[in-house]
Amino acid sequence: MVSASPSEADASSSLVTAIVEAVADREDVAPTELQPPLYDVIDPDALTALFTAAGSRDSRRVSFTYCGHAVVVDGDGCVFVDDDGERQEPATGERTVR
Every domain of the chain and the residues it spans: 8-82
CA–CA distance, 92 with 18 (Å, rounded to integer): 10
Low-confidence residues of the chain: pLDDT under 50: 1-10, 85-98
Question: Which pTM was predicted?
Answer: 0.71
3-state secondary structure (DSSP) of residue 18:
helix
**Structure confidence at residue 14 (pLDDT):** 87
Q: Residue-wise over 12-41: b if at least 16 C-beta within 10 A, else e? A: bebbbbbbbbbbbebbeeebeebeeebeee
Other Cβ atoms closer than 10 A to 44 = 18
Max CA pair span of the chain: 37
